[in-house]
Amino acid sequence: MPLGTNILSATDAAKQIASGGLTAEKLVEACLDRITAREDEVRAWSHLDANKALAEARARDNEDPKSALHGIPIGVKDVIDTHDMPTEYGSPIYQGHRPAWDAACIALLREAGGIVLGKTVTTEFATRHPGKTRNPHNLAHTPGGSSSGSAASVADFMVPLAFGTQTAGSVIRPSAYCGIVGFKPTFGTINRTGLKPLSDSQDTIGLLGRSVADIALLTSTLSSLKLQNIVAEVRSATAPRIGFCHTNLWDLADTATHSALEDAALCLGRKGAIVKEIQLPASLVEATSAQEVINEFETWRALAFERYEHASKLSPALTKRLARAGTRARADYDVAQVLAKDGRLQLAEIFTKFDVLLVPAAPGEAPEGLDFTGDPIFNQLWTLMHVPAVTLPVFNGPKGLPIGAQIVGPNGEDGRTLICAEWISRKLSE
């Protein structure tokens, strides 16, 4: 376990910086020391400039606080543009590429006094071809993808918060594998300008941290949602109505995941929550397969330049996927979008009876090996539905690796979903 300022939560560190008990420079120094000690093994970063990060921290220390996030260092997944450091999208096509701009979420972060510590490793264009990152809990296992470096760096106490993105399961799944909190907000909650697109109707900028409160702090800063007092709100919140949803994919999860979620449902019921098992309607079951159709149809077009001009620099895995994606017919895409729209209506009806759903975050612990980042099958539906989802690191599997619970909320109810997630996390940790 690392010892030092780098283990502070973002919320606690921000309070200490605001009160004068800690400087941003000392916090960044502690994070950089941890990176120096562990990066050769974990391999979470694609770009770091220690001198630049320290200079930015000193500048924050010499000005009045700009927000509750002032002075906090954050990692940025390398599919999100930064004007002052390389953005390579996990591809040799863009080696050394420096955009002339910051993505909107990065500009908003800097405007609020946050510090970009560096760029974290992504899979190739945030698809399935893995990068160099390892799971910090066991270096022989994947950290998940595509937000692999962000998940590993937060889990290993290199940085308190990081940006990720999700088009299928790229925030929720690596957060589960690495034992941290991941948040995929409602579609469009965090502005996507400056994100390298894959699937325009599904791409979502998400956040990774070590507590729900930290996630709420960064979400508030980027979206103007008023979530800063989430801990106080949880204390006064009523116990949530929880739908324990096996989904039609339950058999794809391993027995450890089955047991963990079933035990969680029983525990939460004993703690006062109203917990009922539910089955998804047929329209939502059909919508699960629609996610991949939409994803591939849109990705083939989003990566037109790369596959047309630089086909030789694409990985064999992405080349194969794009070849399949190019056969997707417009008629099939239109049908898939109708299924998605109908599914959202059905899901909204379900949420008139429940505050959140409890579902698997992944099929089990992080798979052994680094060539496969894991199956996003338990995330795809909720991404397609545009609803908020949270991974909670509340279980361990038979190999001693984390197993996450996924909490899914109604479209647009990000605040309430985070409050329920914090309530659930506390009760399961007692």
User: Which residues are catalytically annotated?
Assistant: 77, 146, 170
Picking from 422, 334, 343, the residue whose alpha carbon sits closest to that of residue 380 is 343
Provide the residue type at 74 as one letter. I
Measured CA distances, 361 to 150, 256, 269, 395 (Å)? 17, 13, 20, 11
Q: Residue 146: is the preceding peptide bond cis (ω within 30°)? A: yes
Cα 297 from chain centroid (whole Å): 23
Six-digit token string for 70: 């002032």
d(CA 146, CA 374): 10
d(CA 151, CA 354): 29
| Residue 145 DSSP code | S
DSSP letters for 217-257: HHHHHHH----TTHHHHHHHPPPPEEEEE--TTGGGS-HHH
Picking from 157, 104, 150, 103, the residue whose alpha carbon sits closest to that of residue 126 is 150
d(CA 117, CA 30): 12
∠ Cα 190 234 68 (to 5°): 50
d(CA 259, CA 373): 23
Neighbours of 383 (CB within 10 A): 26
Picking from 401, 389, 393, the residue whose alpha carbon sits closest to that of residue 364 is 401
Q: CA-based diameter of the chain, in Å?
A: 60
Which residue in the block uniquely carries the two structure tokens 């909670």?
392
